[in-house]
Structure 1
Amino acid sequence: MASTKTAPKKTDEFGIERVTQDEPGVIDGYREKWPWFDHVMRMQERYGTMGGNQYAAGITYFSVLSMFPILMLVFAAVGFVLANHPAAVVEVQERINSSVSGDLSEPVNRILDTAIAQRSAVAGIGGLTALWSGLNWMNHLRYGVSMMWRADPTEGNFVIRKLRDLLGLIALLLALIVAFGVAAAGSSGLTEILLEKLNLSHIPGITLMVFALTLVIGLLVNFVVFVGLLRFLPRTHVPGAAAVKGAILGALAFEVFKQIGTVFFSKALDNPAGATFGPIIGVMVLFFFVWRILLYSSAWAATTEESLEQTHTPVPEPAVIRVRNDVDTVPDPKASAALIGAGAAIGAAGIALARKLTGR
């Protein structure tokens, strides 16, 4: 009878079995043949085994939660500016009445009046809640990125961690504003206005050249942002070469997503349903994919050759053998006989008493 051979199980550098969807040996053959494909599979395995999608969803929740106090600060800032310019308030209200259709203009104007009247209270409450929710946001973001490196996200001094999270929160907000601002400037009508003011709109192909220039600038900004995030967020040492490789992947994916996102937002706000529900849904989708890109880039950087070389597989603790003697006590025969005799005597007395009471 012919014997069948089973392909040996493949494990990664941490001893976790590789899960393949094809017949045994085919995917492993591709991995041995193409190093880049092996790296892609290592990235996917790291992202999947460490719960990348779950962390991306959780970070998205805290990101959206942090937006409301940040918007409170924005409204407070607008209130401080408009409080000293009554003419600007009238102009803003007229623009609201002309832009917002139906009965929505009245509540929007009331919100504006409230923001101006209670600007100090809104700034105080918004500042405290923005600080609290923003630090939680950064903590969960750092937690998810650290897990892609299989690092303990709770290491270090608590106060130092919170100070780093505060600096990271400010830098992250500025980086996102710059990154999306470059993409919006390249795909909006702002460039055309600038070209007309500079008398350059008549040059053939100038619009395409400006778009290409903004695309290159956007890629460079993305690269710098991702290098900073990949070096700053994980609670472990990140090799510089690994951070650069992860930042290249993140910059390209992020730029593609930004270009698609600007088209989505411009189209989604054209209809009433999109104008009502599109912004919040779009923001949630935007954050979810941004954090997925960051976590995938972290998994890519964490599975480079440079990162794997510095990974130390934890040595299991030595086994401790404890010898325990269990002694079974044997009852004394004389004591056992005495107990049996006493039980028989009690039983006989009980029977005699029962017969006497029943008259037998």
Structure 2
Amino acid sequence: MARTGRRSGGLIGRLRGDPPRGERTAPPPAAEPAPEPPPEGPAPAPAAPTPAPERAAAEPPEGPTDIEPRGWLATLKRAAKGFREDGLQDWAAALTYYSVLSLFPLLIVFVALIGVFGEYPRTVNSMLDIVRQIAPGSTADTLESSLSGVVRNKGGAGALLGIGLLTALWSASGYIGAFMRAANAVYDVEEGRPFWKLRPLQLAVTAVMVVLIALLAIGFVLSGSVAKSLGDTIGLGDSAVTVWNIAKWPVMLLIAVVMIALLTYVGPNVKHPRFRWITPGAAVGIGILILASLGFAFYAANLGSYNATYGALGGVIVFLIWLWIANLALLFGVELDVELERQRELESGQPEAARELQLEPRDAPEQ
């Protein structure tokens, strides 16, 4: 009976679908818990992401010392490239022409000043010696006869001073106008200042420049006599001459710095952030001018053959080349200041400065 029961049990198990005896069976999977019902009411708003700390807006460097070192290298490369692309060699030649055009009216003013305030004939002969070195023989003889005759008459010198000053202002203003156009080309801006504003500005700047150049010339020509007279007055005697001969060079350098600062500030049709008495471009330009003048003087005195090539015009050629070098140095200083301003704007987060400086014009050009 027991055996029969086992068989019947196995048969019944097979009918029920039970697995054969002895086979392993995996336990049934555990039932997954039912998902919790969503809470009643509106769903809560997602948490706002934590804001990243805001980056402070970059400020333009205040000066060249604030520019990164690699920025200086990029600035010098752009300045050299812009010097060629802006055609500053041609602009320097134009400025040289206007320099010569205004030179002789300025000499008339200087000689008249010497005739009124200086000692004749020693100081006048010093000025005429300079004229003989830079002018052709016939021109020098003409100037010598006319200037010497007028300066002997004190009253004539005073009248000559007024006439020569007006002539020099009008002639030298051509140089100021040409420099303004060259500066606009460097800054890549159009001239928008109207004639009624631009022409008086040119004459005013020219008047200031004439006074400063006259101070330079008087410092060269009259420094000894003036210093000796002042030394005798205050009891220093000849010591005042020695002191002035040393101190006059820093004074003349300061006058040159003021002249360049005035030109570079009022020249271009842009609003500068502020007036600077000395800019990196002005310092570099003066340094280049000094070094180039020394080098060119050495070359002309020892290696050049200007007198053999040009004869009596050798001194004129040397003087013209020196004027051209001086204007090249001045314009390169302006180009360097432009690229320094561009670098300051780029480092302040203004990428559009790579294409155009972000300086407002003084007067927008008419459309």
Structure exhibiting the larger radius of gyration computed from Cα positions: 2
Q: Is the 8 A contact 1:222 1:250 kept in 2?
A: no
Residue pairs, 1:195-344, within 5 angstroms: 197-198=238-239, 211=246, 216-240=250-274, 244-257=279-292, 277=313, 280-304=316-340, 305-306=343-344, 311=353, 313=355
Counterpart CA distance in 1 for 2:150 and 2:221 is: 31
Q: What SS does structure 2 have at the residue aligned with 1:303?
A: helix
| Alpha-carbon distance, 1:312 to partner | 8.3
- CA drift at 1:263: 7.9
Percent identity reads 18
Q: Deviations over 1:285-332 (max 9, x none)?
A: 332122111110110000112366584857xxxxxxxxxxxxxxxxxx
Distance 2:219 2:299 in 1: 17
Structure 2 unmatched runs, 5+: 1-67, 357-367
What one-letter code is carried by the residue in structure 2 that aligns with 1:54?
D
- Structure 1: gaps (5+ residues): 1-31, 83-87, 315-360
Q: In the TM superposition, what whole-angstrom CA distance separates every residue of 1:2-60 from its partner, at most 9, and x where no partner exists? A: xxxxxxxxxxxxxxxxxxxxxxxxxxxxxx99432221111011111111000000011
| Aligned-residue offset at 1:244 | 2.2
Give, in whole Å, the separation in 2 of the partners of 1:50 and 1:59.
15
Change (3 A) 1:302 1:179: farther
The TM-score with structure 1 as length reference comes to: 0.53
Task: Name the structure, 1 or 2, with higher relative contact order (CA <8 Å, separation 6+).
Answer: 2
Measured at CA, do residues 189 and 230 of structure 1 come closer, stay the same or move farther in structure 2, by a change above 3 Å? Answer: same
| Inter-partner Cα distance in structure 2 for 1:177 and 1:263 | 27
* Aligned-pair CA distance for 1:197: 1.0
- Provide the aligned length of Structure 1 versus Structure 2: 261
Q: Tell which deviates more after alignment, 39-48 or 299-308.
A: 299-308
Going from structure 1 to structure 2, the CA distance change for 1:136 and 1:196 (only over 3 Å counts) comes to same
- Do the aligned partners of 1:301 and 1:307 also contact (CA within 8 Å) in 2? no
SS in structure 2 opposite 1:134?
helix
SS at match of 2:260: helix
Q: What is the alpha-carbon distance in structure 2 between the residues aligned to residue 183 and residue 124 of structure 1?
A: 22
CA distance in 2, matches of 1:115, 1:183: 19
Helix, strand or coil: the match of 2:192?
A: coil
Instruction: Give the TM-score, by structure 2 length.
Output: 0.52
When the two chains are superposed, the root-mean-square deviation of aligned CA atoms in Å is 5.3
Alignment of 1:35-184 (within 5 A): 35-74=71-110, 81=116, 108-109=144-145, 112-113=148-149, 126=164, 129-152=167-190, 154-178=191-215
Structure 1 residue 282 displacement after superposition = 4.2
Residue type matched to 1:247 in 2?
A
The CA distance in 1 between the partners of 2:167 and 2:143, in whole Å, is: 24
